[in-house]
């Protein structure tokens, strides 16, 4: 269970990016966060794993308060939070296997990682997960030789190698073509079911959010203004989330592709 209570994030003396935000994500949930650019979606995810420091409020993961953790405790807590990035965040010169093993850096001694002497059980699990997402054949290939969809699958496996208690995905499909985008969303949906893992996805593509996730949270100017099932996201709810927002911020090319092929 992720429980966020009265979360505020302010940069300097400016207007808060997150304003008294409250959110609960139970176990085995698949939740998408929608909203226009600048709504605070990425900031919210980065506050959860402390890549961004909250100004005030509480963030609890399975009963542990994350906002007060220091150094070693924070490092250990981050092992429990898998993160998938829009820009993949891979080391291009390393192989797929080596990038995947980066998910174990919080568990193994530094010398093992430096010498690339990974434990046998970690290698076995990596192959199992890579096989599951369809990239096992690329294990010895450099990351910069892969397509965007393949690179994001490496990012997914790297996050799963942490054995996380929650998975955060920050615009995981924004850098992908429409077909790869849908494949990644379907993969996250299936993994959430198979691993009984709560997944929180920040996404611009409303059509994919409605198709692949079971709960949608809408943000506007740092506040939660919608929280419900995809079927509840009607025109009025969309207007509340995106009022005054250009239509191209509501729907990216992946959504347009989805609409086109279903007409």
pLDDT tens, position by position, 22-66? 999 998 889 999 999 999 999 999 999 999 999 999 999 999 999
Question: What is the residue whose two structure tokens read 């174990």?
Answer: 104
Tell me the whole-structure pTM to 2 decimals. 0.88
DSSP code for 103: G
User: How far apart are alpha carbons 113 and 18 in whole angstroms?
Assistant: 37
d(CA 124, CA 121): 5
Q: Which residue has the tokens 């980065």?
A: 46
What tens digit of pLDDT does each residue of 249-262 get?
444 433 332 333 33
Q: What pLDDT, on the 0 to 100 scale, is given for residue 244?
A: 59
Return the domain boundaries, the chain: 2-87+159-243
Residue 47: other Cβ atoms inside 10 A: 25
User: How far, rounded to the nearest angstrom, does the alpha carbon of residue 263 sit from its chain's CA centroid?
Assistant: 30
Q: What strands, in cross-sheet order, belong to the sheet with 30-34?
A: 81-84, 166-170, 199-202, 30-34, 215-220, 223-228
CATH number for the domain running over 2-87+159-243: 3.40.50.300
The answer to whether residues 45 and 172 touch, using CB atoms and an 8 Å cutoff, is no
Distance of CA 53 to the CA centre of its chain: 18
- The per-residue pLDDT for 261 is 31
pLDDT (tens digit per residue) in 162-214:
999 999 999 999 989 999 999 999 999 999 999 999 999 999 999 999 999 99
Backbone phi, psi, residue 251, to 5°: -145, 120
Three-class secondary structure of residue 230 per DSSP: helix
| Torsion angles phi and psi, residue 65, rounded to 5 | -75, 120
């Amino acid at each position: 269970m992720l429980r966020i209570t009265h979360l505020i994030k302010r940069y300097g003396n400016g207007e808060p990016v997150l304003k008294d935000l409250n959110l609960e994500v139970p176990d085995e949930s698949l939740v998408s966060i929608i909203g226009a650019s600048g709504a605070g979606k990425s900031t919210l995810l980065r506050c959860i794993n402390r890549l961004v420091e909250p100004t005030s409020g509480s963030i609890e993961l399975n009963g542990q308060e994350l906002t007060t953790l220091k150094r070693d405790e924070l490092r250990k807590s981050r092992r429990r939070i898998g993160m998938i990035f829009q820009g993949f965040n891979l080391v291009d010169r390393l192989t797929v296997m080596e990038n995947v093993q980066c998910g174990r850096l919080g568990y193994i001694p530094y010398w093992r990682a430096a010498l690339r002497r990974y434990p046998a059980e970690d290698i076995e699990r990596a192959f199992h997960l890579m096989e599951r997402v369809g990239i096992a054949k690329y294990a010895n290939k450099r990351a910069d030789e892969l397509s965007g969809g393949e690179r994001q699958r490496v990012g997914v496996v790297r996050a799963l190698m942490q054995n996380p208690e929650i998975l955060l995905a920050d615009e995981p499909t924004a850098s992908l073509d429409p077909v790869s985008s849908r494949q990644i969303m379907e993969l996250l949906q299936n993994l959430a079911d198979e691993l009984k893992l709560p997944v929180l996805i920040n996404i611009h593509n409303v059509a994919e959010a409605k198709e692949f996730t079971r709960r949608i949270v809408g943000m506007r100017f740092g506040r939660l203004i919608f929280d419900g099932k995809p079927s509840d996201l009607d025109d009025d709810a969309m207007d509340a989330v995106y009022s005054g927002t250009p239509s191209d911020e509501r729907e990216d090319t992946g959504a347009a592709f989805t609409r086109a092929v279903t007409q």
